[in-house]
Every structure is written in structure tokens, then in C-alpha cells.
Structure 1
């Protein structure tokens, strides 16, 4: 089922994307705070083991993915995207699947690790798409005003 009938044909603007990222950054911080509550137990059980650190990192990345991926798959909007009237879709106009969300999240993390270069790609791309937009075959559209 496509949802493009309520969306603008123009790609989402850079300021809107940034605003949504800031909003979602606060929500992700809260998610990570709550997700980190049980981690001291792991610290006591493993006391500085390298594998425990790896498990913690994967667990916290999983918590971030659960928030972002869940909202992307079930509705196409995170809390920040909803506030800034943005909607995430696949290139064919359909909602994301978990596979699409996984690739988008993974490449987003790589973009951040590359000092944000993948995010700054919107300044070069004629369709204002980031690396993770391209590689996950998704795009962000502006929601039309009612």
C-alpha cells in the first residue's frame, strides 16, 4: 500500500531533516538511558572483560535500532520526523520493511563514523539524498500541510 498521496513531490529540506535529527537525538538519548539501566549487572559479572564491552555496544546499538527501525517500519515517521512533517518511504512509494530499516540504520552509523560525510551528501546530490537513502533505496518526503 502506498502512502504517497499525502506527500509533497519535492524532497525534504535540509533544515527539516536536521531539526528532526535533533528531536530524535533527545529521544534516542532517553532510550539509551533506559536501556543502560541493567548494564551495571553485566559489569559486575564480567568485570572489564573485552567480550562484555562488545556485548554492551551491540545491545545499545540494538536499542537505537529498535526505536528508529520500529518507527520507520510502523508508520514511516519517528517522533522527530512527525514533528517536522517528514515521512520515510522506499523508492517505490511503499513503507519500509525491516530489511530496509536495517540497511538504512547500518549505513547511517557508517555515515556518522565517517564524520557525517554521508549526511552532508545531501548538499551534492540533486535529489537531496544521503548515503543511507541511496543504499537502502529510501527517501524522505515532506508531508503536505492540511
Structure 2
């Protein structure tokens, strides 16, 4: 059985994933702006948000179903697997993607219900919500995230087999 990656390793992969996703969302935003003939950043805002939700879903589902690792997960030797230890099926990966929004959903609900628009309360709510979500791993079986438990997936520490040494001449 593979071991569970530490929270430190998972956080490092999350930060790296954020850098990768910055580029993905910028490119997707440009494509959307060109296709929608968007002339102002706030026009078609809802459409852009749905488009980005779909693009991010495609990104994650494709990588998770094709080897179980995104670029960041590969760099940090983390792999997502289904109950059988293989990369998750498309349906399971899509479920994991949608359930992973539980990281933010409670905080976003609090922000929306309170009508907050200032960055201070918004970042505070998001920070507290994400910290609470991470702390759940301390009580959940296998130290997995809630969305993994609900989706029937798990994260594993995955170190590929070492490559054979190249012969010297």
C-alpha cells in the first residue's frame, strides 16, 4: 500500500498548481474574450465564470484520468487513485472535481450572505474556511480530504521507479 502524502507536500503541490492554473485561466480568459467579443471585463462575467469552471474541470479530469497526476502532482509525487488503485474513471474524476469546490463553498456562502465586498473579510473567510477544511484531514480516515472520501478517491505518495543507469563509455 502506498503512503499518504503529508499536508506539507499537498500544500506545496497546491501552490504549484495555482501557478499552473494562473496560466491556464489567463489563456482560457483570452479565448473567451475573443469568442464573446468581450469589450469590458465585467461584460459576460457569468459566462466567463462558467467557461472557466468548465476549462478547469477539463484540465483536472483529463490529467486525473490519464495517469492520476496533474503537472504539479507529478512534481510533488502525488497521485489520485480510485478504489482499485488505478487512475479514477471519468465519472469519479468529474465527481472529485465538483466536490473539491467544498474547499471554498462554505466560505463563499458566508461571504455572499453577508454581502461582503471588501478584500479583508473575504480573504479572512476564505482563509478560515480552507484551514478548517485542511484540519478535517486530521479526523478523517486515512488523512484524506473530504472531497476524496465522498468521491471514492484517495491521494497517494507516488515515487516512480528509478531509471536504470546509463552505461558510460
Q: What band does the TM-score fall into relative to the shorter chain?
A: 0.7 to 0.9
Alignment of 1:7-86 (within 5 A): 9-41=2-34, 42=36, 43-44=38-39, 48=43, 52-86=44-78
Determine whether 1:106 maps to 2:121.
no
CA distance in 1, matches of 2:82, 2:8: 21
* Distance of 1:98 and 1:118 partners within structure 2: 25
Aligned to 1:3: none
Quote the residue 2:148 is aligned against: 133
Report deviation, 1:87: 1.0
- State which drifts further: 35-44 or 53-62: 35-44
The answer to whether the 8 A contact 1:12-1:128 is kept is no
TM-score, with length taken from structure 2: 0.71
Q: Report the CA distance between 1:40 and its aligned residue.
A: 3.3
Displacement after TM superposition at 1:44 (Å):
4.2
Q: Which has the larger radius of gyration?
A: 2
Contact 1:77–1:87 at 8 Å: present in 2 too? Answer: yes
**Structure 1 CA distance, aligned partners of 2:158 and 2:32?**
39
Q: In structure 1, what is the Cα distance between the partners aligned to 2:32 and 2:55?
A: 13
- Rounded to whole Å, the distance in 1 between the matches of 2:156 and 2:2 is 7
Using the size of structure 1 for normalisation, the TM-score is 0.82
> What's the C-alpha RMSD, in Å, of the aligned pairs?
2.0
Q: 1:106 offset after TM fit, Å?
A: 0.8
Contact in 2 for aligned 1:86/1:140 (Cα 8 Å): yes
Render the CA deviation track for 1:49-100: whole Å, top value 9, x for unaligned. Answer: xxx3322111001111111111111110011111111111002212211111
Answer 1 or 2: higher relative contact order, Cα 8 Å, separation at least 6: 1
Looking at structure 1, the residues matched to 26 and 138 of structure 2 have their Cα atoms a distance apart, in angstroms, of: 33
Q: 1:101 to 1:119 in 2, by over 3 A?
A: farther
Q: Does 1:91 align with 2:83?
A: yes
Give unmatched runs, 5+ long, in structure 1. Answer: 1-7
